[in-house]
Structure 1
């Protein structure tokens, strides 16, 4: 698994097809899964651009961004785990409990993403415990 040096948490998905693709993150991270038919998808590009300036907020919320792009085995495995189509863009926020909390067919604005995360009971407890 790779992560960007700037802390965005954008990761390359490298896991065995038989493993549940999000199990690595369960109970430790929230995951934003971006699924697109190819890397040139306009909505994928827009979502990446929206997330770029809010890297600090992403890290603060223990959020990792995974991409299921193209038709490779890893992308297919992740899409299958979340029931996502392979021919259109989807963004799915997965909580630390492994459940999908928000699914969108268009890029999710960072403020909506953050407000959804911040309303979660586990996140509220985290905010009370952090300085």
Structure 2
């Protein structure tokens, strides 16, 4: 085999390695943005809005930010599902098909605003169609048997 042919084979092999690696890493990133990844570990709070500029979404995010410690202390993770803009789950992008699948799964209209609390068991625990009262959500979580066990093992940091 000539030197040129060997170099071509090496370049082809390198290209294949890069493609396989990027495909694998891309799949891992996409998989991290699915609700099932949080089962028994975290409590997703899903916020559905028509756009990422919706005033109700902006107010909800402001409330979460002002109670960040309480939010994190209850093992919560934020999911933003919007029709116009970027949807995310725990800060990772969710592709539009997955966002639509979640809208369909929870029967959320395209122009609706809705907030859902999903328990660690994957079940829907609360649904409100307005800016949520986070104190009420935290109280609901605090009343759950699993949360009682969590606070017995690890007292609140807040």
Instruction: Return the TM-score normalized by structure 2.
Output: 0.67
- For the pair 1:92 / 2:111, whether they are aligned, the reply is no
| Contiguous gaps of at least 5 residues in structure 2 | 1-28, 85-95
> Which residue is 1:54 aligned to?
67
Computing the radius of gyration from Cα coordinates, the structure with the larger value is 2
Q: What is the number of residues matched between the two proteins?
A: 115
Q: Which runs of 4+ in 1 moved over 3 A?
A: none
- For the pair 1:110 / 2:127, whether they are aligned, the reply is no
State the distance in 1 between where 2:149 and 2:74 align.
12
Q: In structure 2, which of residues 71, 76, 99 is the aligned counterpart of residue 63 of structure 1?
A: 76
RMSD: 1.8
Structure 1 residue 84: Cα displacement: 1.8
**Larger helix proportion of the pair:** 2
| Contiguous gaps of at least 5 residues in structure 1 | 1-13
Secondary structure, in 3 states, of the residue corresponding to 2:125? strand
> Which residue is 2:152 aligned to?
128
Larger relative contact order (CA 8 Å, sep ≥ 6)? 1
- For the pair 1:41 / 2:41, whether they are aligned, the reply is no
